[in-house]
Amino acid sequence: MLNAWTGAQIRAAEAPRLDAGAGDALMRRAAHGLAGAALALLDARRRPRYGARVVALAGSGNNGGDALWAAALLARRGLRPAAILVADRAHEPGLADVHAAGGDVVRLADDDASTDAARRLLADADVVIDGILGTGASGGLREPAAGLAAHLEDLRRTGVVTVLACDIASGIDADTGEAPGEHVTADATATFGGAKVGHLAGAGEAARGTLTVVPLGIEADLPDPDLRRLQTAELRALWPTPARSAQKYSRGVLGVVAGSAQYPGAALLTTAAAAAAGVGMVRYLGPEAVGGLINARTPDAVCSAQQPGDVHVQAWLVGPGTNDDEAQLDRVRTALAAAVRTGTPAVVDAGGMSVLPEQGAAHLVLTPHAGELARLLSDRHAADGAAVERSDVEARPLHHARLAARITGCTVLLKGATTLVAGPDGTAFSQADATPWLSTAGSGDVLAGILGAVLAGVAEHPRAFDDRGLGGDVRWAAAAAVAASLHGRAGRTAARDPEGTGAGGPIHATAVIDALAAAVRDVLAG
Ligand SMILES: NC(=O)C1=CN([C@@H]2O[C@H](COP(=O)(O)OP(=O)(O)OC[C@H]3O[C@@H](n4cnc5c(N)ncnc54)[C@H](OP(=O)(O)O)[C@@H]3O)[C@@H](O)[C@H]2O)[C@@H](O)CC1
Ligand SMILES: Nc1ncnc2c1ncn2[C@@H]1O[C@H](COP(=O)(O)OP(=O)(O)O)[C@@H](O)[C@H]1O
Ligand SMILES: [K+]
């Protein structure tokens, strides 16, 4: 599990040590970790350490102090240190050490001469340590730092310099991952004491590069994390693997209300994905014509035009492709009412979100993309009557996912390059296991099918969640994170993009279904 905390949580854990006068010692430890990360970056890029130019960008706070101290430490390893001070104050002991190491120092102001001098230093740099702002920042980067950050990004993108962020890329909010304005983009980040929420959400995910956590000795005092990311070990433990004595009913029956005579595709994709994910049985409820099409692709699905009240299932999947079909929407309403009454978990996708019960529950998992979440929040007057736009959700994804979970009382899975899951109690997960090739029509239907299969299996595996501190209502959010991760991994497998960088090539939704078994096998094999 990769856990992430807010700046306030980290500061609270540090507070007793700061009160005991250990602040400098903590900063020295941070600077040491930062210097090590700078050397590792040079090594990874096969650039010689000796004579390499390291430039610290230093703001007025301790983040700047860390960067200055790291640059001074690197002078002892043969690097040529320099500093660009972007505020009118700088961490005095750090600056003194850079001077003592013979480093060049430029103080950036709003004039051409200092801007030119700063740019000359950057153009000569091998590694730039971004210590402009850390967890003490409020709002976006201000000038002149904002202009320098934009220039730095031009140099980074064209391979002139490598950027190492101190704690967090400056301009990214450590508590949310939001970027209110210009921000630094890093090739790597060394963070202190624990990952920050801003590394795993919003613009912060793409701005951080490779993340290294430098221990500060405060780890035992950290509270429950604010945001979590499941990794292979958790996926292996939480994936619904059949017991020796399993039979189809014990593995879980998934009731699916999806598609319509006019839009059968969503029904085909969701049922095929659920079957491929290894659910015990899929029971499809809908028009006969759609059932026929489903059986041509997925003969193992049991299709009928029954009503939800007539079937016994362990989980529901409702809503994909049902928008324009009143009979299907009626089935969706009935299934959701039954789910709330009986505590049966349900995936509520697409059209299903327009017929939510008044009183939601954590075991109903909504799966909107940013546009659908904006509509849902607008319909619920979440912004005091003002419309919420897709761009609002994209700019502040974690905030809006949590807001929607609180307002609806349901678990909310917000789809995107990073998928965020929020429970109504504020518990949140972030998964970034996908590939941009997954952004294709029908990909969301496949995710809904996988999630349906996972939810149908949860009842059989309560201990797996309890044993990892993911019991109670948190299990629904955790199950959604499991599904998002496997969906992303299947996408990577299908696209042949193992790192999720956009390498490989195009895929369509059915290719993701076909790759799912291999992705699950990889996870189970560790
Ligand atoms: N705590 C510890 O023990 C340890 C902490 N550690 C390190 O400390 C870092 C946190 O340090 P910090 O608290 O000094 O805050 P930091 O982010 O450097 O900046 C605050 C300063 O910036 C300014 N400022 C604010 N917003 C701004 C903006 N938008 N644009 C421009 N300026 C802005 C603001 O001044 P203002 O101008 O607003 O008065 C304020 O003075 C943390 O990330 C980690 O690296 C490690 O060494 C381990 C031990
Ligand atoms: N840029 C991206 N990188 C990785 N995954 C993405 C990206 N864009 C979308 N996805 C994933 O693809 C799926 C798209 O879902 P959705 O928008 O509902 O598509 P549809 O409604 O056509 O099925 C989601 O699981 C989402 O997380
Ligand atoms: K920083």
88-121 pLDDT per residue, tens:
999 999 999 999 999 999 999 999 999 999 999 9
Query: Taking a C-beta distance cutoff of 8 angstroms, is the pair 287, 459 a contact?
Result: no
Query: Taking a C-beta distance cutoff of 8 angstroms, is the pair 144, 88 a contact?
Result: no
Which among 464, 371, 360 has a CA at the least distance from the CA of 422?
Answer: 360
The answer regarding whether domain 247-524 maps to CATH 3.40.1350.10 reads: no
Q: Residue ranges of the domains in the chain?
A: 2-229, 247-524
Evaluate whether 2-229 and 247-524 have a shared fold. Answer: no
> Is residue 324 scored above 90 in pLDDT?
no
Question: Parallel, antiparallel, or unpaired for β 104-107 and 188-192?
Answer: unpaired
- The CA R_g of the chain, rounded to the nearest whole Å, is 25
Q: State the complex-level ipTM.
A: 0.92
> Is residue 164 scored above 80 in pLDDT?
yes
Which atom of ligand 1 is least distant from the CA of 11? 1
User: Is residue 278 marked as binding?
Assistant: no
pLDDT score, position 206: 97
Question: Residue range 154-177: average pLDDT?
Answer: 97
pLDDT score, position 241: 92
Q: What is the mean pLDDT of the chain?
A: 96
Neighbours of ion ligand 3 (CB under 5 A): 130, 165-166, 170
Ligand 1 atom 48: the closest Cα is on which residue? 27
**Best substitution site from 317, 367, 419, 438 to test ligand 2's pocket, by max atoms within 8 Å of Cβ?**
438
Distance 440 CA to ligand 2 centre (A): 6
Res. 425 pLDDT band, cuts 50 70 90: very high
Round to whole Å and give the CA distance between 146 and 92: 23
The token pair at 344 is 């049966």
The token pair at 293 is 């099409």
With a 6 Å cutoff on the Cβ, whether 187 touches ligand 2 is no
User: Is residue 321 marked as binding?
Assistant: yes
Res. 461 pLDDT band, cuts 50 70 90: confident
User: Is residue 99 marked as binding?
Assistant: no
Question: Residue range 391-413: average pLDDT?
Answer: 98
HSE-CB at 452 with a 13 A cutoff on CA atoms is 37
pLDDT score, position 249: 87
> Is residue 462 scored above 80 in pLDDT?
no
The β-bridge partners of 347 are 317, 365
185-237 pLDDT per residue, tens:
999 999 999 999 999 999 999 999 999 999 999 999 999 999 999 999 999 99
Instruction: Determine the topology of domain 2-229 in CATH.
Output: Rossmann fold (3.40.50)
pLDDT score, position 459: 78
Query: Taking a C-beta distance cutoff of 8 angstroms, is the pair 181, 205 a contact?
Result: no
- Cis omega before residue 242 (within 30°)? no
Interaxial angle between packed helices 443-458 and 474-495, expressed in degrees from 0 to 180 and rounded to the nearest 10 = 140
Round to whole Å and give the CA distance between 196 and 174: 6
Query: Using CA atoms in the order 59, 60, 65, 68, what is the torsion angle rounded to 10 degrees?
Result: 50
Q: Residue 228: in which H helix or E strand, if any?
A: strand 227-229
* For the chain, percent of residues with pLDDT exceeding 90: 93
Distance 128 CA to ligand 3 centre (A): 11
Query: What residue ranges in 308-459 does DSSP mark as E strands?
Result: 315-318, 346-348, 364-366, 411-414, 419-422, 428-431
| Proximal ligand: closest to the CA of 508 | 2
